[in-house]
């Protein structure tokens, strides 16, 4: 049987990703859904790196070199976090992903800089993992609130451009994703949206694993 698919909650800044990640984790810990047990949780990788390495959100607009270094560190941090969680859990829920730094590098540095991150073996391993996972892209431009730490869009136009970058790049990498619109505003409804998509993904993986096993057995 295929392992339970991981869940990645990604998207632009301050669109409820962390809140949703926490809510889904809480639900699944209270209502175990798989034989593999409850998921691990990966949270605040970027915030931790900002703090530990002395970055500020102002660096992203003022220094391309600092921005690229930050995104490289975030990819490495995400890779290590996923590796750590998979040592103790068979699957996890992640607030953000190794994909996010590529989008920020593309937007705030250059396409060439982003391509350099894409060439990383760590990203390639995470990309393959994401291909077997559920990817939820959060939308919520009306929810944007400045927390004093993370980079904020200058306006809604910049936010929409960043959201479009996420969606087009996911499609370019061949990664299936689901958009969670801001119209689904109730916490429980948002959790249910994720769980329904997760069950669909899980079922497809199980069917695919069974079909693959039958094919191998018939050879």
Structural domain spans, the chain: 7-218
According to DSSP, the residues that pair with 8 across neighbouring strands are 94, 135
Q: What is the pLDDT of residue 212?
A: 54
| pLDDT given for residue 156 in this prediction | 72
Inter-CA distances, 197 with 41, 87, 192, Å: 18, 25, 9
Measured from the Cβ of residue 214, the count of other Cβ atoms closer than 10 Å reads 9
pLDDT recorded at residue 140: 65
Answer positive or negative: Cα dihedral of 181, 6, 152, 27. Answer: positive
Query: Structure pTM?
Result: 0.87
The residue whose two tokens read 């790196």 is 49
Residue 27, classified by CB atoms within 10 Å of its CB into exposed (0-12), middle (13-18) or buried (19+), is middle
Reported CATH class of domain 7-218:
alpha beta
Phi and psi torsions of 51, nearest 5°: -70, -50
The three-class DSSP label of residue 211 is helix
Q: What is the rounded distance in angstroms from the CA atom of residue 136 to the CA atom of residue 21?
A: 10
Q: Which two tokens stand for residue 166?
A: 């996420």
**Is 175 in contact with 128 (CB distance < 8 Å)?**
no
Report the alpha-carbon distance of residue 99 to residue 160 in Å, rounded: 18
Residue 173's pLDDT is what?
Answer: 95
pLDDT string in tens for the chain (219-residue length):
457 899 999 988 777 888 899 999 999 888 776 666 889 999 989 888 988 988 876 777 778 998 899 999 999 999 999 999 999 998 999 999 999 999 999 988 999 999 999 999 999 999 999 999 999 999 865 544 555 545 555 567 777 888 899 999 999 999 999 999 888 878 899 999 999 999 999 999 888 765 554 444 444
- Please give the DSSP secondary-structure letter assigned to residue 105: H
CA 103, CA 163: separation in Å to the nearest integer? 10
């Amino acid at each position: 049987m295929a392992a339970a698919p991981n869940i990645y909650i990604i998207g632009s800044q301050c669109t409820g990703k962390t809140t949703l990640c926490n809510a889904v984790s809480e639900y699944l810990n209270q209502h175990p859904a798989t034989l593999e047990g409850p998921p691990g949780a990966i949270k605040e990788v970027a915030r931790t790196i900002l703090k530990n390495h002395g970055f500020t959100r102002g660096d992203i607009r003022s220094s391309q070199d600092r921005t690229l270094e930050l995104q490289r560190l975030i990819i490495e941090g995400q890779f290590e976090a996923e590796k750590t969680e998979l040592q103790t859990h068979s699957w996890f829920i992640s607030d953000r992903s190794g994909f996010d730094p590529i989008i920020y590098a593309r937007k705030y540095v250059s396409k060439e800089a982003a391509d350099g991150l894409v060439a990383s073996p760590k990203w390639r391993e995470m990309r393959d993992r994401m291909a077997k996972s559920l990817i939820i892209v959060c939308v919520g431009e009306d929810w944007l609130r400045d927390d004093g730490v993370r980079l904020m869009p200058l306006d809604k136009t910049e936010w929409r451009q960043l959201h479009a970058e996420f969606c087009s790049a996911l499609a370019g990498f061949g990664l299936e994703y689901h958009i969670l619109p801001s119209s689904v505003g109730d916490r429980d409804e948002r959790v249910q949206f994720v769980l329904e998509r997760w069950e669909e993904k899980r079922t497809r993986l199980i069917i695919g694993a069974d079909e693959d096993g039958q094919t191998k057995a018939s050879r």
